[in-house]
Amino acid sequence: MTLVLTLVSQSKDVGPLAQAAPGGAGDVVDRSGGGWRVAEREVAGGAELVSWLEAETPGAGADWAITPKGNRKKRLLISDMDSTIIGQECLDELADFAGLKAEVSAITERAMRGELDFAGALTQRVAMLKGLKLGALEACHSDRVRLNPGARELVATMKAHGARAVLVSGGFGYFTSRVAKMAGFDADRANTLIDNGMALTGEVGMPILGREAKLTALLEETAALGLTANDAVALGDGANDLDMIKAAGLGIAYHAKPIVAAQTTARIQHTDLRAALFFQGYAVGDFVSA
């Protein structure tokens, strides 16, 4: 199988890196434009190349992906929400309205690193918010939730080229429904916060959408389109995203926890979500502004 190394930076020329990559073959292709530095080259792949990239790319502020040469432009975008499409963890921000952000954030961090059972950590954190007035949800969304750079362009560009976009989160539908509209997603899947009409009850709707459910979402969405997992690009940052990232034809670790980054060959750490378009072979001239 022929593989392609894509290097993307917003600060330095990545052509020399592509030229120096272990196992490289053929000429370096420069696809730079619009302030982006982008270079591609066919490579053999393998652990040596990944280790080299981990050591050499940070100095250039470069993100990278090693992908098969064929079927690059994916027909399904499926993405995590918290700390991926948006820059926040909604549950942590919501806990701030209850004066519990530090305590809840500490549990979130451990869960995203894969140190805690996701479902158990979720129910524990939501229980801590029992009695929080519903007005806090709207205040949290309007005052705290912001899209990460490139989110709208990523979704709009893929949709303009015939892809479906689905937001899937271990967080809550109150936020995913709103973020999906902000970013242009076609659909969203998430957990449900239970309330009594005035305040949160401290309970989560069952079953909990966790790691396995995210993988199920990927498989169901591709099947509904008459596609396979190889036709999807999946993005996420936490341990609960890992199964769908590994199953997708292009699985991208976005500012990811070590347990996630270590098991991927496509990583965005220095630029923004538009790098996922370059990884699929799009050029700057293909980008669509939402």
Catalytic positions, written as ranges = 80, 82
Burial 237-271 (b: 16+ CB within 10 A, else e): bbbbbbbbbebbbbbbbbebbeebbeebbbbbbbb
User: Cα(75)–Cα(34) distance, rounded to whole angstroms?
Assistant: 25
Amino acid sitting at position 196: N
Q: What would the DSSP string read from start to end of the chain?
A: --EEEEEEESSS--HHHHHH-TTEEEEEEE--BTTBEEEEEEE--SHHHHHHHHHHSGGGTEEEEEEESSS-S-SEEEE-IIIIIBSS-HHHHHHHTTT-HHHHHHHHHHHHTTSS-HHHHHHHHHHTTTT-BTHHHHHHHHHH--BPTTHHHHHHHHHHTT-EEEEEEEEEHHHHHHHHHHHT-SEEEEE-EEE-SSBEEEEE-SS---HHHHHHHHHHHHHHTT--GGGEEEEE-SGGGHHHHHHSSEEEEES--HHHHTT-SEEESSS-TTHHHHHTT--GGG----
Tokens of 219: 């498989």
Residue with tokens 């090693």: 66
